[in-house]
Structures are given as C-alpha cells and as structure tokens.
Amino acid sequence: MDQRAIGIFDSGVGGLTTVKVLRRLLPNERIIYFGDTGRVPYGTRGREIIRQYAMQDIAFLKRHEVKMIVIACGTVSSCMTPQMQDSIGLPYSGVVLPAAQAACATTSSGRIGIIGTTATVRSAAYSRAIRNILPHARTFGNACPLFVPLVENGFIQPDNQVTELVARQYLAPILEADVDTLIMGCTHYPLIAPILQKIMGPDVTLVDVGEQVARWAQSYLTSNDMLRQGEGGCEFFVSDSPENFIETAGLFLGGDITGEVQQISVDSISPSAI
Amino acid sequence: MDQRAIGIFDSGVGGLTTVKVLRRLLPNERIIYFGDTGRVPYGTRGREIIRQYAMQDIAFLKRHEVKMIVIACGTVSSCMTPQMQDSIGLPYSGVVLPAAQAACATTSSGRIGIIGTTATVRSAAYSRAIRNILPHARTFGNACPLFVPLVENGFIQPDNQVTELVARQYLAPILEADVDTLIMGCTHYPLIAPILQKIMGPDVTLVDVGEQVARWAQSYLTSNDMLRQGEGGCEFFVSDSPENFIETAGLFLGGDITGEVQQISVDSISPSAI
C-alpha cells in the first residue's frame, strides 16, 4: 500500500484522456495533474526546448511527493533522453513503450502506422520501440501538426468537415501503406478517433496511447503493492488561467471537472531541480 | 539622427511581415527582432500570462539599447495595460492604433470588420480605438484561433481548401454584417490575405496591421529626427531552436532570411525588469 498520489503531466489538456482512464481503472488513487497550458503546444517545438519544459514539469510534480510519474504527452515521451530518465528517481512511464507493446500484440500483418506531432514522428521513438519487440515489423509514420490545435479549438464533431479534410491529407500515406494497426501517438487524438476510424476503415485497430500508459500504471502499482486505499480524487495545476482549462477539460475527461484547479508558474522552476 | 536599432517583437514568426515592410520603408535602420517561438501562440492564452510574456519580451529588447519598441503582435497590442505602456520608457507602438486609424480613413459606410486571435477579439481593443476616432462606426469582430496554426504549418496557398473552409466559417458573420473594411488584426494573416479577399469580395479593403505599425515607425522616426544613417540590417532572436524559425521565416519576409539568428532564454527574464 502506498497512499501517495500519482503525478501525471501533459503539455496541455490532452493528458486528461489518460486521467479519464486512470480514474476508471484506479478509482482509489489520488491524481495530481499538471497541464502546461501556458506553453502548449510542445509538438511543433525543437527537441531541446521540449526537454527543458519536461524537466520543469517533472520537477513540479516531484514537489508534491508523488509515488509515480505518468508522462501523458506523446511529444515528451518521444524526446526523453536516458539521462532524463535516470534523473527522475521514481517509477515512471511515457506513452511510447506501453503503446508499442499494445500495437505489437494487435498487429497481424506487422504493418503499423504511427501518427503524432512533428517532434514525435521526427524522433522515431515508436518505430524503435516496435522493432525492439517485433524486429520484422514495418512502421509508417506521418506528422499531424494541426490535430492538436483542431482538438483544442473544438473541431472534434465526428462530422467535422475541416478535421476530416485535414485528416484525409495526413492519413493518405498511411492508408496507402495498408497497415492493420494505427498508433494515435498523442493524447489529444482520442477525441477525433471516430474521424480517424472512418478514414482508416473498420479493419484497422486504433491504439490509444494514453489508455495504454494508464494500464501500465495499474499493472505497476498492483504488482508492486503500491495501490492506495480509501477515497481517490484529483488535483489539477495549470500554467495559464484555470478558466480556459476548465472550459475544455470536460471534453477530455468525458464529464465536468471535479477537484480544484490552481495556476502555478512553471517557467521559474529550474530544469535541473529534479 | 539616432544610430540605435529598432526593437520589434512578436509571439513567433508573424511579426516578420512587419519587418518586411520596415526594411522596405527604412532600409538604413538596424532591426532587432525577437520571436517568442518557444511560447507561441499567445492568442489562445489568458490575459495575465500574455502580459507577463510581453513584459519579458520588452525587457529582452531593452537590453539591446533600442531607440523604439514596435509591438508586431496583435494579441500583445490588444492586451497592454496603461501601467505596462508607462513602464516601457521608450517611443513604442502596438498595431491597434495605427490599424484603427487606417481603417477609419478607409471606410465609407462606417462598418468595419475585425478578425484576430481569441484574446484580441475578447479585448475589444480595436473597437474601442475605432470608436474614439469615428464615434458612429460599427464594428463586427470574430475570433479566428486556427489561422495562426494554419499559417505556421504552411496552409497558405491561395487555393488551400482547408484554410478556405475554416476562413468561410470564421468570416460568415462578418460577411453578413456587410462591412467595407476588414482589419486583419494579427500579423500572421497577410499570408492568407488572398483567401480572405476572395471570401470577402473585391469591394472590401483589407487592413494589414503590421504594415500600419511599420508606417507609424517611419513617421515617428522621421518627424523626431531619429532616422539612422549608413547601412541597415537585421538581427534575429528566438526562444526555440533557430532551425525551425529559419525554415519558415522566408515565407513571412518574402525572401530568405539574412542576418544572424540566435536562441535566447526569455523565461528567466523577470517581467518587472523593464
């Protein structure tokens, strides 16, 4: 038993899709969520600045004496260096490895598509993780830089023409590659999953990376006897005003936000503080 | 004569459309440009964080002993408080007032449309400035939060279907209001002006706010005997990696970038340092 909270962060609101799954799987856990809404999006930025932001995000969560760090951001998960991983000093996971394992367990043809932000696709982190598990797998990646702004601006209705038009462009090379599994490599994408599924067709399995990292957290806490007992709950921290966050959070959580939302200043935290 | 440089900043690359005009109007000037590419976009953020970022941007430029500050960002220009304006301590202008003056000089019907980021439209800064000049003018604003990501991701071809579809949605209420002048209240928008013009029709005049603030700078420096003599040039500073900036800068400058591009850390600057 470990009564401490799970720390989880994302560049913005996307990681709330992971919180939604965590709350379903682990209703007794306390969750401390940080969304870096003052500096979102991460995925179009350079690797070094993404790493600096990630170190500050992790340092912030560690101030709260969490028992585990869940990196619910595809971009950060793809850009972590071994040095960063070593310095966390707590059980942690990004979305890449759990999602790669799920995709490898799902695929029959060994042909796997990967969509994500520009930084994620450029990093090739998913492809590397997949080939470590299934050496003969073939992966087909394409960056979808407009998906995050489209989702954050509410262009998510299953019949949204704009998002469908953009998605058809981004998915064209992946469709052509005849994959049987598509990794949605960013925690914003589950909100437009119906559009992606329509374009890819019913025979392609979509992998929700946030759901997979939530399952990893459940499995890790269970097998290490670190589950919490008693009532669970959430606390939310953001780096921009809480109002905007509260407005869109419901979409991602699948229900109104419950729990306090506080604004903090993350850019004054030293990236080396972890 | 004043040999010091002009300081100019924007949340990202959009302000380069203003640099382009400045270089044409004032070829002998030295220009120091800061693009806060590590924290772009500003326009979807809350007012307080926009103000903090703006103060840091101004503080950075003031370290370079500039003679004037040009705020080439529609969002920052709309969110400045009188206290912030007082603390600059140098000649400066945002885009709002020069653009409002140009729109009032242009309109015949007194019906003026304003498009900009969410923060800009919410601020109502353009409407206030217009009514100070033309009390009976009627203004019609609509926020266009996807235009900045669309432009930054290169969706700018005059026949781009996605941008046209988004623009038709955003402009519908302005078209209906039968305006004769449309303020493009963000320095990113000139890159999609052909699409906006096609939708609004040939009888609507588009006001390029970056061009108007560049004209203000020319007029101020000329009438205060502050023009520079000798060879002009540009230095560029960004808060994310220079590579991404250099890649897209050409689009905005209308030609390859000339002059050094350096990365700096802006978030460590105290907002009260100006």
Per-residue pLDDT tens for B48-67?
999 999 999 999 999 999 99
Predicted pLDDT at B274: 62
Nearest alpha carbon to residue A13 among A120, A118, A148, A184: A148
Beta strands in chain A (DSSP E): 6-10, 30-35, 68-71, 92-93, 111-116, 138-143, 181-184, 205-208, 233-238, 261-263
Which residues in chain B are contacts of A166 at CB distance < 8 A?
A: 162
Confidence of residue A141 (pLDDT cuts 50, 70, 90): very high
Question: Under 8 Å CB-to-CB from A157, ≥6 apart: which residues?
Answer: none
Is A160 within the bounds of a domain? yes
Task: Output the average pLDDT for chain B.
Answer: 95
Same domain, A249 and A186: no
Say which residues have a Cβ less than 8 Å from residue A97's Cβ, sequence separation at least 6.
Answer: A129, A216
In terms of domains, do A33 and A160 share one? no
A1 domain residue, yes or no? no
What is the number of other CB atoms lying within 10 angstroms of the CB of residue A131? Answer: 16
Residue B176's contacts (CB-CB under 8 Å, 6 or more residues apart) are none
A161 pLDDT more than 80: yes
Q: Is the peptide bond before B194 cis (omega within 30 degrees of 0)?
A: no
Q: Are residues A70 and A145 in the same domain?
A: no
Closest chain B residue to the Cα of A147, Cα to Cα = B149
Same domain, B233 and B222: yes
Supply A177's token pair. Answer: 């590659």
With respect to residue A261, please indicate whether it lies within any of the assigned structural domains: yes
pLDDT at B169 over 90: yes
Model confidence over A222-248: pLDDT tens digits?
A: 999 999 999 999 999 999 999 989 988
Q: Do the domain assignments include residue B182?
A: yes
Give yes or no: B79 in active site: no
C-beta of residue A148 within 8 angstroms of C-beta of residue A43? yes
CATH of the domain at B236: 3.40.50.1860
**Confidence bin at A256 (pLDDT 50/70/90):** confident
Looking at B79, B104, B144, B186, which residue is catalytic? B186
B114 and B79, same domain (yes or no): no
Band the pLDDT of A268: cuts 50, 70, 90: confident
Cβ neighbours of A47 in B, within 8 Å? 241
Q: Give bridge partners of residue A237 from the DSSP assignment.
A: A34, A262
The pLDDT value recorded for residue A274 is 63
8 A C-beta contact, residue B133 and residue A133: no
Domain containing A220 equals 6-94+211-273
List of residues 6+ apart from B55 with CB closer than 8 A: B84, B271, B272, B273, B274
Q: Does residue B1 lie within any of the structural domains?
A: no
Q: What is the largest CA-CA distance in chain B?
A: 50
Cβ-nearest to A166 among B46, B162, B239: B162
Q: Of the listed B73, B104, B144, B234, which one is catalytic?
A: B73
Q: Within this chain, do residues B89 and B225 fall inside the same structural domain, yes or no? A: yes
Select from A157, A180, A208 the last residue of a domain: A208
* B190 in a structural domain: yes
Contact B52, A240 (CB under 8 A): no
At B273 the pLDDT is: 65
Say which residue the tokens 């010091």 belong to: B4
Q: Is the pLDDT of residue A270 over 90?
A: no
Q: With contact defined as beta carbons under 8 Å apart, do B239 and B37 qualify?
A: yes
Contacts of B219 (CB under 8 A, 6+ apart): none
* pLDDT classification of B259: cutoffs 50, 70, 90: confident
Do B129 and B198 lie in a common domain? yes
Q: What is the tens place of the pLDDT at every residue in A165-212?
A: 999 999 999 999 999 999 999 999 999 999 999 999 999 999 999 999
Residue A189 and residue A219 in one domain: no
- Residue that finishes a domain, picked among A161, A190, A208: A208
Indicate whether B21 and B46 sit together in one domain. Answer: yes
Examine residue B29 and state whether it is found in any structural domain, yes or no: yes
Domain boundary (B209, B240, B260) is at B209
pLDDT in the model for residue B268: 82
Catalytic residues of A: 73, 186
pLDDT at res. A273: 65
Domain count along chain B: 2
CB contact under 8 A, A169 and B152: no
Residue B202 CA to residue B189 CA, distance in Å, equals 17
Size of interface A-B (CB pairs under 8 A): 67
- Which residues make Cβ contacts (< 8 Å) with residue A230, sequence separation at least 6? A3, A28
What's the pLDDT at B20? 96
In sequence order, the 6+-apart residues with CB closer than 8 A to the CB of A11 are A35, A36, A39, A40, A41, A42, A43, A53, A73, A75, A76
Same domain, yes or no, for B198 and B252?
no
Does some domain include residue B75?
yes
User: pLDDT per residue over A41-82, tens digit each?
Assistant: 999 999 999 999 999 999 999 999 999 999 999 999 999 999
Cβ-defined contact of B241 to A165 (cutoff 8 Å): no
Note whether B118 and B86 are same-domain residues.
Answer: no
User: Does A178 lie in the same domain as A52?
Assistant: no
